[in-house]
Amino acid sequence: MTRNTPIRELKGVGEKRAGLYNKIGINTFGDLVFHFPRRYIDYSETVPVSAAQIGEHAVIKAMVIKKNGAARIRQGLVLYKVFAEDENGDRISIVFYNNRFASEALSVGEEYFFSGKISGNLTRKEINSPTFLKTSEKNLLRPVYPLTEGLTSAMVTTNISEILDRADDGFFADPLPDGIRLEYSLSTLEYALRSIHFPNDSYSAETARKRLAFDELLKLQLGMMMIKNRTRSASSCVMTEEKADMNSFFSALPFELTGAQKRAIEEIKKDMCGSFPMNRLIQGDVGSGKTAVAAAAAYFAAKNGFRTALMAPTEILAVQHYETLSGMLESLGVGVCLITGSMTKKQRAAAAERLCSSDCFVAVGTHALISETTEIHDLGLVITDEQHRFGVNQRAALAGKGNDPHKLVMSATPIPRTLALIIYGDLDISVLNELPKGRRKTETFAVTAKLRERALGFVKKLLDEGRQGYIICPMIEEGGSELAAAKGYAEGLKKTILAGYRTGLLHGKMSAAEKDRVMEQFKEHELDLLVATTVVEVGVDVPNAAVIVIENADRFGLSQLHQLRGRVGRGQHQSYCILIAGSLTEESRQRLEVMTKTSDGFEISEYDLKMRGAGDFFGSRQHGLPDLKIADIAADRELLANCQRAARELLKKSPDLSEYPELRKETEELFTQNDNAAESL
Residues that bind Mg ion (CB under 5 A): 539
**Residue 436 binding: pick among Mg ion, ligand ADP, none (C-beta 5-8 Å cut-off by kind):** ligand ADP
Of 185-193, 251-259, 362-370, 453-461: span binding ligand ADP (CB under 6 A): 251-259
Least distance (Å) between residue 592 CB and ligand ADP: 23
What separation in angstroms does the CA of 573 have from each of 224, 459, 547, 569, 642? 43, 14, 10, 7, 46
Q: Angle 517-521-527 (CA atoms, 0-180°, nearest 5)? A: 135
The dihedrals phi and psi of 550, each to the nearest 5 degrees, come to -120, 110
- Helices 202-230 + 637-653 axis angle, to 10: 50
Q: Which residue, 30 or 543, has its beta carbon nearer to ligand ADP?
A: 543
Of 17-25, 282-290, 345-353, 369-377: span binding ligand ADP (CB under 6 A): 282-290
Q: Which residue, 159 or 442, has its beta carbon nearer to ligand ADP?
A: 442
**Residue 258 binding: pick among Mg ion, ligand ADP, none (C-beta 5-8 Å cut-off by kind):** ligand ADP
Q: Does 287 bind ligand ADP (CB under 6 A)?
A: yes
Distance between CA 536 and CA 516 in Å, rounded? 11
Q: Does 568 bind ligand ADP (CB under 6 A)?
A: no
**Three-state DSSP string of 168-218:** CCCCCCCCCCHHHHHHCCCCCHHHHHHHHHCCCCHHHHHHHHHHHHHHHHH
Contacts of 106 (CB under 8 A, 6+ apart): 64, 67, 82, 94, 112, 132
Least distance (Å) between residue 256 CB and ligand ADP: 6
Q: Does 436 bind ligand ADP (CB under 6 A)?
A: yes
Residues 361-400 vs ligand ADP: string with x where CB under 6 A? Answer: ----------------------------------------
**Residue 413 binding: pick among ligand ADP, Mg ion, none (C-beta 5-8 Å cut-off by kind):** none
**Residue 257 binding: pick among Mg ion, ligand ADP, none (C-beta 5-8 Å cut-off by kind):** ligand ADP
Distance between CA 148 and CA 134 in Å, rounded? 26
Applying the rule CB under 6 A, the residues between 621 and 680 that interact with ligand ADP are none
Helix-strand-coil split of the chain, %, nearest 5? 45, 20, 35
Q: Which residue, 313 or 539, has its beta carbon nearer to Mg ion?
A: 539
Contacts of 448 (CB under 8 A, 6+ apart): 580, 581, 582, 583, 584
The dihedrals phi and psi of 46, each to the nearest 5 degrees, come to -90, 155
Least distance (Å) between residue 294 CB and Mg ion: 9
Q: Which residue, 292 or 419, has its beta carbon nearer to ligand ADP?
A: 292
Q: Does 563 bind ligand ADP (CB under 6 A)?
A: no
Residues 261-280 vs ligand ADP: string with x where CB under 6 A? Answer: x-------------------
Distance between CA 462 and CA 452 in Å, rounded? 16
Q: Does 255 bind ligand ADP (CB under 6 A)?
A: yes
Distance between CA 508 and CA 269 in Å, rounded? 38
**Residue 284 binding: pick among ligand ADP, Mg ion, none (C-beta 5-8 Å cut-off by kind):** ligand ADP
What separation in angstroms does the CA of 248 have from each of 244, 252, 253, 296, 678? 9, 6, 9, 11, 41
Least distance (Å) between residue 161 CB and ligand ADP: 55
**Residue 286 binding: pick among Mg ion, ligand ADP, none (C-beta 5-8 Å cut-off by kind):** ligand ADP
Applying the rule CB under 6 A, the residues between 508 and 527 that interact with ligand ADP are none
Q: Which residue, 208 or 312, has its beta carbon nearer to ligand ADP?
A: 312
Least distance (Å) between residue 325 CB and Mg ion: 12
Terminal-residue alpha carbon distance, the chain: 42
Coil, strand or helix at 391: coil
Distance between CA 82 and CA 107 in Å, rounded? 10
Q: Does 539 bind ligand ADP (CB under 6 A)?
A: yes
Report the C-alpha dihedral over residues 46, 50, 51, 54, rounded to 10 degrees. Answer: 100
Other beta carbons less than 10 A from residue 489's beta carbon = 18
Q: Which residues of 227-241 are buried (b: 16+ CB within 10 A; e: fewer)?
A: bbeebeeebebbbee
Q: Does 224 bind ligand ADP (CB under 6 A)?
A: no
Least distance (Å) between residue 320 CB and Mg ion: 8
Contacts of 157 (CB under 8 A, 6+ apart): 142, 143, 145, 197
Q: Does 560 bind ligand ADP (CB under 6 A)?
A: no
**Residue 526 binding: pick among Mg ion, ligand ADP, none (C-beta 5-8 Å cut-off by kind):** none
Q: Does 575 bind ligand ADP (CB under 6 A)?
A: no
Report the C-alpha dihedral over residues 149, 152, 157, 162, rounded to 10 degrees. Answer: -70
**Residue 277 binding: pick among ligand ADP, Mg ion, none (C-beta 5-8 Å cut-off by kind):** none
Choosing from 235, 279, 283, 291, the residue that interacts with ligand ADP (CB under 6 A) is 291
Residue 252 belongs to what H/E stretch? helix 246-252
Coil, strand or helix at 510: coil
Of 174-182, 210-218, 289-297, 633-641: span binding ligand ADP (CB under 6 A): 289-297
Distance between CA 323 and CA 559 in Å, rounded? 27
Q: Which residue, 444 or 644, has its beta carbon nearer to ligand ADP?
A: 444
Q: Which residue, 60 or 548, has its beta carbon nearer to ligand ADP?
A: 548
Residue nearest to ligand ADP (CB): 289
Distance between CA 136 and CA 139 in Å, rounded? 9
Of 206-214, 219-227, 236-244, 537-545: span binding ligand ADP (CB under 6 A): 537-545
Choosing from 567, 570, 623, 664, the residue that interacts with ligand ADP (CB under 6 A) is 570
Other beta carbons less than 10 A from residue 476's beta carbon = 17
Choosing from 115, 187, 288, 340, the residue that interacts with ligand ADP (CB under 6 A) is 288
Q: Does 286 bind ligand ADP (CB under 6 A)?
A: yes
**Residue 97 binding: pick among ligand ADP, Mg ion, none (C-beta 5-8 Å cut-off by kind):** none
Choosing from 199, 223, 284, 624, the residue that interacts with ligand ADP (CB under 6 A) is 284
Total chain residues near ligand ADP (CB under 6 A): 19
Choosing from 257, 278, 553, 650, the residue that interacts with ligand ADP (CB under 6 A) is 257
Residue nearest to Mg ion (CB): 539
What's the maximum distance between 2 C-alpha atoms anywhere in the chain? 93
What single string gives the DSSP state of each residue in 147-162?
Answer: --TT--HHHHHHHHHH
Residues of this chain that interact with ligand ADP (CB under 6 A) are 255-258, 261, 284, 286-292, 412, 436, 539, 541, 543, 570
